[in-house]
């Protein structure tokens, strides 16, 4: 499913914006599981949920800009990468 979404929207369609507020996207437990499941699929380590929540809250507040899909949801890979950076600190 994720690869289908990636193929459907090219980089020019992905915006670095605060779309979460305007489009009504809200972080959820399902999205956290999606981020970790996709990481496992790619063969990467699972990140603790608290780091993903921190990234999503920063994104929601407009303090962090990540690639977004047209409906406002942030890219799970971008969220994962930022969560890994937080975890390493």
* Residue 68, beta-bridge partner list: 15, 74
Mean pLDDT value across the chain: 79
Mean pLDDT of 22-29: 70
User: CB-based contacts of 46: which residues, under 8 Å, 6+ apart?
Assistant: 36, 39, 40
pLDDT digits (tens, 9 = 90+) for 51-88: 999 999 998 888 988 888 888 889 999 999 999 999 99
User: 54 versus 6: which is more confidently predicted?
Assistant: 54
- Enumerate the domain spans of the chain: 29-89
For residue 66, give every residue at least 6 positions away whose Cβ sits within 8 Å of its Cβ, in sequence order, or none.
16, 55, 59, 74, 75, 78, 79, 82
The predicted pLDDT at position 23 comes to 52
């Amino acid at each position: 499913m994720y690869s289908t979404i990636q193929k459907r929207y090219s980089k020019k369609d992905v915006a670095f914006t605060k779309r979460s507020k305007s489009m009504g996207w809200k972080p959820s437990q399902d999205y956290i599981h999606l981020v970790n499941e996709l990481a496992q699929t790619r063969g990467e380590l699972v990140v603790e949920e608290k780091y993903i929540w921190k990234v999503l809250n920063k994104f929601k507040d407009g303090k962090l800009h990540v690639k977004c899909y047209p409906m406002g949801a942030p890219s799970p890979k971008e969220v994962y990468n930022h969560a890994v950076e937080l975890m390493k600190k």
